[in-house]
Amino acid sequence: MAARASDVVIVGGGIMGTSLAWELAKRGAGTVTLLERHTIAFGGSGRTGALIRRHYSNLPEATLAHEGWKTYNAWPDLVGGDPIHTPCGLVVTVDASPECIDNLDKLRKNVALQNSIGIPSVVATREELQGLQPFADWRDVPLAAYEHNSGYVDSVTATRSMAHAAMRAGAVIREHTPVLGIETDGTRVTGVRTPDGVIPAGTVIVAAGPWTNAALTGSGVTLPIETLRVQVAVLHRPIALEQPHFVYLDTSAGIFARPWAPGRTMIGVAGGDQHEPVDPDNYHEQNNPEYPQQAIDAIAKRIPGMKESSYLTGQVGLYDMSPDTHPLLGAIGPDGLNVMVGFSGAGFKKGPAVGRAVADVILNGSCQWVDLQPFRPGRFNEPGYDPNAPWTDTEYTFSSDFGHRL
Ligand SMILES: Cc1cc2nc3c(=O)[nH]c(=O)nc-3n(C[C@H](O)[C@H](O)[C@H](O)COP(=O)(O)OP(=O)(O)OC[C@H]3O[C@@H](n4cnc5c(N)ncnc54)[C@H](O)[C@@H]3O)c2cc1C
């Protein structure tokens, strides 16, 4: 196909790129072209847990998560297509070991933060959790945050549905079209390079996840993104556990888990030894041989009956980690170049909201409903910026690494 000029080119067909394409196309941003080097949802968006949690210890990310949830929860009306959100209830546990006991007070404050923006989160006691899910073992959980109407989505369905919405709004989506680099005239972007030639464009947004720096070739921009390989397993539950369980963002048991389909559970084992730095173009795409048993043992800590579950299949995905585990959103480098990357294993829930926020910046010059300044992509080069410093005094501490901050 000949390379045709575009007003806006988006690089990457994950939930970020497709959400932005939909927002820009429906809001009349001109010719919007999304280029995906494989197929839509090939990256993290097709291999994710897609837990739609809204519990965050900072306002901007809680806002993005809540706005993302609103879109997922009203998908047929807002985006079109079938409902995609299963609001089965979601529990967030925190490490309450003696060295992290402050987490319990932080949890109360963070639930209040969520309530202040309309998220119906509550602090649930051990006894209340036991009443809600008697088959789980809550002895290590004095308190948890409970979101009764949060849940999960099928991420491939959601991303593809978003791509269809973008096309209905007028966006052009081209699969199997890798962007080889960014073209500039020295001060601003002029297009992107593809195997079919240069596509001229005045605005380019890179949403290429772990492959971001390769896509940025020629722009003069290199971002501090590290790629981590992360496994999940899908288990058959024993017949005694017919009832679906909550979604768990369970930092106490060191797992994230959710119902997958009737009778099945998806689980990811968190922890530093599970996060392996890899080359995003050359990594092992199947579960390690020992992973199925590790997954069964890990979820049996929360749901003892899962000891009797059996391994069905697994998936391996990549986290695009930023140094502070928060995303990079907005303009950087030559005029007209923007990024939406570095979601560090926690971006799916925010996708539709990030698309809306970045579209506001591109179309209006700023976003009024969420503060994007903390996500400025150049922050890591600022003198004095400490990527290890907590963003708020209610950020949780962990006695072992959970992968991303909370
Ligand atoms: C195992 C796992 C569990 C997770 N669990 C959760 C969770 O429970 N909740 C949550 O909110 N988040 C979760 N995440 C994180 C979430 O999935 C990601 O943050 C999100 O999907 C990132 O979307 P994206 O669009 O930025 O990137 P991606 O989905 O990775 O999309 C990037 C796309 O860009 C394409 N691309 C790359 N380079 C080029 C190029 N040069 N030219 C053209 N195309 C290119 C790729 O092929 C890819 O399709 C999880 C991730 C993993 C891996």
Q: Which SS3 state, helix, strand or coil, does residue 109 take?
A: helix
Measure the CA–CA gap between 342 and 14, rounded to whole angstroms.
Answer: 13
Ligand 1 atom closest to the CA of 208, numbered from 1: 34
Residue 38 is classified by DSSP as: S
Distance 342 CA to ligand 1 centre (A): 9
Residue 282 is classified by DSSP as: B
Distance 210 CA to ligand 1 centre (A): 8
Compute the residue count for the chain.
Answer: 406
Measure the CA–CA gap between 174 and 89, rounded to whole angstroms.
Answer: 37
Structure tokens at 138: 């809550």
- 328 phi/psi in degrees, rounded to 5: -115, 115
pLDDT of residue 104: 97
**Average pLDDT score over residue span 195-213:** 97
Ligand 1 atom closest to the CA of 214, numbered from 1: 41
- 312 phi/psi in degrees, rounded to 5: -100, -55
CB 327 near ligand 1, within 6 Å:
no
Q: Where are the domains of the chain?
A: 86-150+226-321
Is 151's pLDDT higher than 70? yes
Distance 57 CA to ligand 1 centre (A): 23
pLDDT of residue 44: 97
Is 2's pLDDT higher than 70? no
- The DSSP code sequence of 298-309 is HHHHH-GGGGG-
List, in order, residues 6 or more apart from 55 with CB less than 8 Å away. 62, 65, 92, 110, 111, 114, 121, 145, 147, 249, 406
Global pTM reads 0.98
Q: What type of residue sits at position 240?
A: A
CB 79 near ligand 1, within 6 Å:
no
Distance 113 CA to ligand 1 centre (A): 28
Measure the CA–CA gap between 290 and 1, rounded to whole angstroms.
Answer: 45
pLDDT digits 0-9 by tens, 359-387: 999 999 999 999 999 999 999 999 999 99
pLDDT digits 0-9 by tens, 45-82: 999 999 999 999 999 999 999 999 999 999 999 999 99
Distance 346 CA to ligand 1 centre (A): 9
Q: Which SS3 state, helix, strand or coil, does residue 69 take?
A: helix
Is 1's pLDDT higher than 50? no
CB 328 near ligand 1, within 6 Å:
no
Nearest CA to ligand 1 atom 35: 12
86-150+226-321 maps to which CATH number?
3.30.9.10
Residue 244 is classified by DSSP as: P
Measure the CA–CA gap between 152 and 49, rounded to whole angstroms.
Answer: 8
Q: What mean pLDDT, rounded, does the chain reach?
A: 96
pLDDT of residue 5: 82
H helical segments located in 75-227: 75-78, 102-116, 126-132, 155-168, 212-215
Pocket test for ligand 1, best of 18, 219, 343 (most atoms within 8 A of CB): 343
CB 178 near ligand 1, within 6 Å:
yes
Distance 44 CA to ligand 1 centre (A): 3
Ligand 1 atom closest to the CA of 152, numbered from 1: 8
pLDDT of residue 89: 98
Q: Which SS3 state, helix, strand or coil, does residue 66 take?
A: helix
Measure the CA–CA gap between 304 and 240, rounded to whole angstroms.
Answer: 11
Distance 383 CA to ligand 1 centre (A): 30
CB 122 within 8 A of CB 145: yes
Is 165's pLDDT higher than 80? yes
Q: How confident is the model at residue 3 (pLDDT cuts 50, 70, 90)?
A: low
Tally Cβ neighbours within 10 Å of residue 360: 18
**Average pLDDT score over residue span 134-163:** 97
CB 72 near ligand 1, within 6 Å:
no
pLDDT digits 0-9 by tens, 267-301: 999 876 788 999 999 999 999 999 999 999 999 99
Instruction: State the residue for tokens 């799916």.
Output: 348
Residue 89 is classified by DSSP as: -
pLDDT digits 0-9 by tens, 323-346: 999 999 999 999 999 999 999 999
